């Protein structure tokens, strides 16, 4: 499931230019962009027809990439999250002032995941930071389960489609509150 160097380079070039990419994730195809690029994030949200207030998920190759965006409420909270990473577990951490409002939305927290998916990990490592990761579907539609379906949903609106296989989960990752461990989305 490794990413060919030319696919990785094309995706990184697109991300650095403020573009959108589609790529496989743990369960569904996702759309990604640079979370610090407001224009790219607003383009992603418009493409999905998703309101910015809902917030976005950040994925990373390691926790250090997420550190500028999250406040750690306690050592126990951090242990709770890191015990599930890298892996298909998304946690809501309190957001730092550095976290853009288009990422956190109307929330005081930010959803983050240290992924084990080889394509997402390679992209994040090569990009040198976290990526936005949201399901590749217009709001209200089923998430794309193939590159073909992602292309059909977003014909001409995505700059690069990175090939690869899904991670094998039946549905998107569970989202939990890091302070309490409570499940917010199954």
Q: pLDDT digits over 70-100, tens only?
A: 999 999 999 999 999 999 999 999 999 999 9
- The answer to whether the predicted template modeling score (pTM) of the entire model surpasses 0.85 is yes
* Average pLDDT value over all residues in the chain: 96
pLDDT tier for residue 1 given thresholds of 50, 70 and 90: low
Strands (E), 19-95: 21-24, 29-32, 57-60, 89-94
pLDDT of residue 16: 98
pLDDT of residue 171: 85
**Mean pLDDT of all residues in 106-119:** 97
Q: pLDDT digits over 156-168, tens only?
A: 999 999 999 999 9
pLDDT of residue 185: 85
List the one residue out of 123, 117, 113, 122 whose CA is nearest residue 174.
113
pLDDT tier for residue 127 given thresholds of 50, 70 and 90: very high
If you search the block for the tokens 């991300």, which residue do you land on? 15
What sign does the dihedral 124-12-38-185 (CA atoms) show?
Answer: negative
Asked if the model's pLDDT at residue 172 lies above 90, the reply is no
Query: Cα separation of 32 and 141, whole Å?
Result: 18
**Mean pLDDT of all residues in 126-141:** 96
- Provide the token pair at 84: 């599930």
User: Domains of the chain by range and CATH?
Assistant: 5-185 (3.90.870.10)
pLDDT tier for residue 27 given thresholds of 50, 70 and 90: very high
List the one residue out of 11, 54, 59 whose CA is nearest residue 35.
59
Q: pLDDT digits over 42-58, tens only?
A: 999 999 999 999 999 99
- Provide the token pair at 139: 């709001």
């Amino acid at each position: 499931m490794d990413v060919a160097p030319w696919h990785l380079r094309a995706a990184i070039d697109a991300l650095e230019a403020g573009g959108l990419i589609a790529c496989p994730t743990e369960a569904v195809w996702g759309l990604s962009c640079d979370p610090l690029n407001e224009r790219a994030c607003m383009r992603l949200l418009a493409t999905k027809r998703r309101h910015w207030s809902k917030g976005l998920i950040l994925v990373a190759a390691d926790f250090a990439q997420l550190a500028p965006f999250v406040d750690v409420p306690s050592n126990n909270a951090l242990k709770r999250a890191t015990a599930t990473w890298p892996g298909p577990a998304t946690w809501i951490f309190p957001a730092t002032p550095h976290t853009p409002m288009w990422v956190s939305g109307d929330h005081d927290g930010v959803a983050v995941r240290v992924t084990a998916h080889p394509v997402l990990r390679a992209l994040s490592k090569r990009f040198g930071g976290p990526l936005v990761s949201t399901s590749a579907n217009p709001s209200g539609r089923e998430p794309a389960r193939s590159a073909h379906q992602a292309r059909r949903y977003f014909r001409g609106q995505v700059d690069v489609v990175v090939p690869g296989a899904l991670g094998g989960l039946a549905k998107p990752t569970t989202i939990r509150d890091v302070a309490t461990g409570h499940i917010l989305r199954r």
